Every structure is written in structure tokens, then in C-alpha cells.
Amino acid sequence: MANSEPRRKDGTMIRATDLSLNEQISLLSGSDVWHTRDLPDHAVPAVMLSDGPHGLRKQDQAGDHLGVSGSNPATCFPTAVTLASSWDEELIAEVGRAVGNEARAEGVGVVLGPGLNIKRHPNCGRNFEYLSEDPLLSGRLAAAMVNGIQQTGVGACLKHFAVNNQEAHRLVVDVVVDDRTLHEIYLAGFEHAVRAARPWTVMAAYNSLNGTYCCDNHDLLTAILRDRWGFDGLVMSDWGATNDRVVGVHAGMDLEMPGSGGISDGDVAAAVASGELPRSDVATSAQRVLDLTQQAPGEQGSAADTVAHHLLCRRAAAESTVLLRNDGILPLDPDISIAVIGAFARAPRFQGFGSSLVNPTSVDSAWDAIRTRAATASYAPGYDPVTSARDDLLIREAVRTARRADVVVLLAGLPGVYESEGFDRSDMALPEQHNALITKVCAANPRTIVALSNGSPVAMPWVDAPAAIVESYLGGQASGSALADVLFGDVDPGGRLAETFPIDQTDVASDPYFPGEPHQVEYRENLLVGYRHFTTNDVPALFPFGYGLSYATFEWGPATADRTELAPGGNVTVSVPITNSGPRPGSDVVQLYVRDITGAVARPLRELRGFAKVHLAPGATQTVTISLDDRAFSYFDADSQRWRVPSGEFVLELAASSVDIRSTITVTVTGQVPGGDCGPVTVARSDQEFAELLGRPVPLPRPVRPFSRLTTVGELQESRVGRVLRMGLHRYTRGQFEQMAAGDSTMVTMLGRALDEMPLRGVALFAGGVIPWSALDALVDVLNGRPLAAGSRSAAAVVRGVSQRLFHR
């Protein structure tokens, strides 16, 4: 990471070995929610870390990791799901630079993003914060974001490493996944971003992976991340994710966040004293913290241009918009009367809840943006933007308004309470009120355009009714004007889906195994994530991965390759001329999928191995070239822990989506593994198949009893004493939550769920030293029906500590 020697802010050099053991240990935990510890005696400064990922959430006052307390105003850029739909690395790097500049201006040293966990299932509550279901796309776009942020002199943080693909039980769940799937699907994006963009930091995830918590996982954090991929930065924990600090330090988890008020320092000191933990492990991690303080900017940067950033936000949202359907109604002629229906037009839904919540510098509404352009405009809310409760009166009013207009723009989607960090959706449905509104309004006026605001795919039982469907996702603070820009044709909707829209969630291969048991989730779908399943098993999608319409018309010429025989380690470059044959400027995305027909190993039908975005003026032609190296043909061989290339034929498919193949070229590759007769990948449905895939017996989920430090607050429900404790906690915090959330019901729901999800060890860590391990362990004894007296004292300590510190530091 640091190319130069670490220096104090006065310019003199400092190494971990210049510090006492206690000083070194103190660097391994934060000082509070957002800062690394400073060492004033050595002139070592603190570094401020702030969320991320689509805008800055810098908290000057009370700090929290769930977006509860206020933060300084910052530009709220489009969320990851939106930006990813642009497939535009330059655009994403530009957004990264803007976020970095705002961080610099606020004196923040590291921005906690991007998040690039794979969208394993459409119902993951945090999908809006992630990029794609495909590792190549996720990795390349994350690398672009890291480059953009780091060009401003601020560090980025790849998160959440790794396999954090659900919110349910995220703090305690063990992900059981086979090694090949792990590397090919869940790690490949991180690997690319680490190698290509050299992020300063990586965040270890909450969950456990194949039996070991990510924060304790030497394989993940050292053998793979550092030794294999060459990562030379710092690993920090997700907030409150530390499991066993001593094991964690040895595993390469350098920095615990937030600080735990000395609890972990004591554990580490004792382990060094007893010889359990080598002192050199402490020095290594302390050195990485020192390196970070050296690398982080010393002074605050100049004020960021938030007006320019708002405009960037608007452009990025428009260029990321995915046009799903258009019978020719779009772009709109402004010389008409437009009925704008849907409360989101005035109360826009433009970001998700949780730690990524940005306090926007300003917010554009679609209603303002449309009415200032249209000849005549009328409005009806159609639903309550927060509850979306069933209300026929609102629907009747909307239908009347729709009938009187030439065209209807109907904004619908998911209210915030439906998707958030901290919990998953239970299904893909829009609120009933939204579905009824769309159906009735389309019947009243078939010239209806449905514009959606949502962070993840939704079911569309009415899909054929509207004249057009525009997927805006969660487009950030300028999403209202961006929508008008697209509707009136000022900007071509440049988005292509970075995820599959299933017709029904049961069409998704992981559906029977999502979110699994509270303590165990089994990735039995193997490599069949997203389009890999839909294309391999010929399952029709509502809208496939890679799909999106444009206002321009593109003609693809014949594809050529610079060679069709590849020697070991060889590259191939594929070219295809693209012409904009229509009267409007626009952009297209050339996707290059590879089909392995060697039969050496079981494979999905096709896998994305390259892409390029092209912007073309009317009549212009550009030859797009995409190069593939041997990684594009290789698979991860779990036995040798190596990427290996099969010998034989591969088909290169140039495509406009995962099901729209425009031309193919067959190449013959000489690799290390002979061809064979393996068929496509299959789901490991039976225990025996899954055990074969894993190469070991399927583990049994950790039982709720006996209770332990890993027992969650929700699981306290299982014992009489625990029930009382849990009820007390909820009762106490409810009032606090309501006060903090200032009447925001989504926030109250999220906090209540987050409390239930928290393991007792997390409660102790968050309580910042108020609850020592001894008190917690005594409480666990009580829960297990052992020593009562000590236990009840501890319970009191827990309640006291939690109420004081848990969500309000």
C-alpha cells in the first residue's frame, strides 16, 4: 500500500517497532465509531472513516452504523444498482472522484465503499447497495469506483469481504459454499478490484464462511487476499463484526471497528503475554494502521462543488436508466397534457435505508421537472409514499386524472420500508396498492408510462399493460430531473440490466436455499447464480441480464477475431463494428460471453467475460474491441487451488443481452486440462450431491441451545429469562428508536430488526467496555440454567450498558 515510509505528521518516520506493545495494540481498534486511534505522544494522527458508498455520510455528532443519527449534507449519487446499469466505467470513476472530493473536503480519510457482494437472490434487502449478479461486471465497476475515489487522495474500502449476500441473520450465519463457486462467483469480483485498483482497505464481512467468521478467517484475509492476490492494504472489520479478536489479529484482520472500549485490547494483550498470539502479528497489523495514517490526507481539502455534483448526479441517473419497454410513446412530445400519478413524484424514493443513508444537499422532484416541461400537467398521488396502504379513493382520483390527459407518467415502486439494510424482502411484489393503481390507470389510459423506483427486481403482473416501462432504480438526489430528461429524450436511457428480472422468485435457482436457517445458509445452486441459471436451464426471465432499450437504433456488423487458435497463455481480441442508424444519439453495450464446449468440467451455458460501452452520434460507426486473456476460459480447480484452462473449443458470443446473441466466433484453445464429456452445471439438491460438491459432509447448523456469546437478542426468546431480557431491551429501545427516527417508521422497523439480529458478543462490543466478557458469560450461564446470582448482576449490566451505548454513541 504505502510506497513511502510511514511518517508522523511532523515529517519524521515511524514504524510499529518504535511503539510499545500496548501502543501497538491500541492501534488495532478504533477510538470511537468513525476514527482510528491517534497516538499524540508519537504525533500519529487519527484517520476518519465514513460511509459510503454512493455519497458521504460523515457524522460530526452522534455516530452510528445504521444511518440513524444525522450526517453532514453531501451529494446523494445514484445507488450502486443504478450506477451498475450504466455499464460505464468512466462514468462510475467520475462519481467516485466526486465522492472522494467531498470526503476530502470533510477531512475524511477513507470512504467505506464500494460494496460488491453478488446479488444471489432478488430479495436481499441490501441489493440496492451492490452492483450485479455477475462477478466480472461487479469487479470492473468496483475497480472504476475505487480508482475514482483514490484519485482524490482518499482511500476506498471494498466491502463486504466476503459472501455477505443476505441481510437475514447476517451477523451469525455460516455460509456453506463449495470452493469453486466461492472463487468463480463470490470472490472473482473482489480479486479483480484488488488487483486492478489497489484499494487502500478491505472490510471483512459479518458472516462466517465455511465455519469460520470472516473476521477470523486466515484463509480469506491472508492466504487468498494478501498472499494470492497481492493486497497490501489494511483489513478492517464491518461494524461490530469482530468475533474472536485474538484469532482475528492472527488471521490478518488489522483494525476492529468501531472501538470496543478496551475489551479487545485486553484480549490481545493477554494472548501475547501467554504466547498464544505472536507479538509480530500485532506489529504487522499496527504497521498497516500506521501506513494508513501516512497515506490518508493530512489536511482537509477545499470545499467540493456540490452544484456540479448535483448535475453529475442527474447525468449519471439518466444514463443509468433502463428502458424496459417502449411501444414508441417515448420520448415524449412536450406539447401534450401529462398526468403525473404517484406520490413518489413529489416525495421521491431515491436511496435506500441503513448505513448508506446520505443527507442530500438538495432533492429534485419528478413532478417539478415534468410540469415545467409539459404544455399542461396534472397530479394525483395514487398512494401514500410511506405506507402505500390500500386506498381505493386515491385510485379512483388517479383514474379520473388519467382519463383527462393525453399521456400518463405513473411513478410506482417500493417504499423504503420494503427494502433496507438489516432485513430482506419476503417476496418480490410491489405493494398491492401500486399494482392495483397501475392496472386501473393503464385500463383508463393505455398511453401510460410506468416509471419504477426500487432497489431490486420486482414482479410485474401487469407487464403488458403500460405503453412504456422505465426502470429508474434508486437514482439519487437528482433522480426526478433525470427521469424528465429521459422521458423527453434529452438523454438516451443508456442503462442495461446488471441483474436478471425473474418472472417469479421461484424461478431463481437459490430460492429454496435463501435465506436458509438462522445459523446456516447452503449455496446449493452451485454456479447457477442469476443469468447463469436462466440461460443454462432455459428459464424465461421477465427481463434478462444485460437487457435495455435505447432511443437510437444500432446495427451490429460481423464480428472478427485476431486469431482462432490460442496457445497456452494466449490472448484473443474480438472486434465488432456498431453503427447508430437512427436519428438520435445513444449508447449501446457490447457484451462478450464465453461458452465452454470442451466438456472438461461442468459449466453454466455462458458467462460474461468482457464488455464495452459505446456512445454514438446519429450515423456514426465505431469498431468495438474486447480482449480476452486465458482467465476468460479458465475455471477454478479446487484440488490444486489454481485457475486452469481446458483444451478444446470455446464459442465467443457477442451479445446485446444474455439471451440476445448477435454473432459468434469459435476459437480453439490449448490449455492444461483435456476436454471431456461433462454437461452443464446442476443444482446440488440432495444432501449427497451437495456433499460431493463440497468435498465433505454437509455440516449441521449450529443449534440455538446451548446459548453462547453468539446467541442473538431475537433468540433470547427461547428461554424464560431471555424473554424477559429481550422484552426489556425492546421496550427500552423502542422509545429511543422512535425518538431517533423522528417518526420515520422504516427506520423504527429496521432498528427493531437490527436489535433482534445482534449476537450477544456484538452487544458487548458495541457497549464500548461497559459490559465485560465476564458479565456476558455469566449471563449466558443464566440463560443455560446455571449460576443465577452472578447472572442476574450481569443481566442488569447488559441492560444498563445497552441502553446507554448501543445505538447512541
Residues known to be catalytic: 238
By C-alpha distance, which of 492, 411, 505 is closest to 456?
Answer: 505
Query: Measured between alpha carbons, how far is 802 from 68 in angstroms, rounded to an integer?
Result: 16
The contacts of residue 291 (CB under 8 Å, 6+ apart) are 1, 2, 6, 233, 234
Identify which of residues 237 and 388 has a Cβ nearer to ligand BGC in the complex.
237
Among residues 138 and 355, whose Cβ is nearest to ligand BGC? 355
What CA–CA distance (Å, rounded) separates 806 from 809? 7
Distance CA 646, CA 191 (A): 21
Q: Residue 99: left if φ>0, alpha if ψ -120 to 50, beta else—which one? A: alpha
Q: Cα(250)–Cα(448) distance, rounded to whole angstroms? A: 60
Region of 476 please: left (phi>0), alpha (psi -120 to 50) or beta: left
**For 730, phi and psi rounded to 5 degrees?**
-65, -40
In angstroms, the CA 622 to CA 644 distance is: 34
- Closest separation between CB of residue 51 and ligand BGC, Å? 5
Parallel, antiparallel, or unpaired: how do β-strands 572-580 and 621-628 relate? antiparallel
| Beta carbon of residue 30, minimum distance to ligand BGC (angstroms, whole number) | 11
Shortest CB 779 distance to ligand BGC, Å: 24
CB atoms within 10 A of CB 13: 12
Contact 174, 521 (CB under 8 A): yes
Residue 713 cell numbers, joined: 437478542
Q: Which residues contribute to the site for ligand BGC (CB under 6 A)?
A: 51-52, 65, 112, 159, 238-239, 355
* Shortest distance, position 157 Cβ to ligand BGC, whole Å: 8
Write the secondary structure of 621-689 as one string of H (helix), E (strand) and C (coil). EEEEEEEECHHHHCEEECCCCEEECECEEEEEEEEEECCEEEEEEEEEECCCECCCCCCECCCCCCHHH
For the bound state, the minimum distance from the C-beta of residue 497 to ligand BGC, rounded and expressed in Å, comes to 24
Residue 672 has a CB neighbour count (10 Å cut-off) of 16
Cβ(523)–Cβ(176) below 8 Å: yes
Do 452 and 410 meet the contact criterion of CB atoms below 8 Å apart? no
Give the shortest CB-50-to-ligand BGC separation in angstroms: 8
| Min dist. Cβ of residue 192 to ligand BGC (A) | 20
In the complex with ligand BGC, the residue whose CB is nearer, 475 or 762, is 762
